Amino acid sequence: MYYSFVMLKPDALDRQLVSIIVERLKAKGIVIEIFDYRNVSEDVIFKHYSHVIAELGDTFKEMAINTFVGKYVIPMIISSSDENIISTVRQTIGATDPSKADIGTIRGDLGNDNMEQATLERRCCANLIHASDSHEAYLSEAKLWFGREYGKL
């Protein structure tokens, strides 16, 4: 089996899209190994987005606080027999900016926000879901959200 990490963001929960998104992932052969429901702390979200904070600084910190802190997310460890699980999941999710995501992807079909508007409003784009972009990111995110690494990629 091969593993990755995904997290349903507060907007997915607020819009009651959890079951729809999970079913879309399962349709691609994804198995939910571990599923949690977490209230997000400042410390955890700063660690999760440390690479973005390093690039964008305090502006992104403020955006992350407004978008995540005190709200709920659903972090998940997922698996598949597909050795390309990370790219498969990211293709299934679609482009970071929902307004630019292809029809047929989660963000393209269910998204209702765009990066330009989010930036103007100094907030993170409501794009429903996060997915690891590399094996190293998966290991780091699994450890951060679940306290240890799971499986191998």
Catalytic residues: 130
CB 88 within 8 A of CB 28: yes
Longest distance between any two alpha carbons in the chain, whole Å: 42
- Within 10 angstroms of residue 10's Cβ, the number of other Cβ atoms is 19
Q: Which residue has the tokens 């987005």?
A: 49
DSSP label at residue 71: S
Say how far residue 134 (Cα) sits from the centre of its chain. 13
Q: Is 16 left (phi over 0), alpha (psi -120 to 50) or beta?
A: left
* Closest listed residue to residue 82, CA positions, set 27, 137, 147: 27
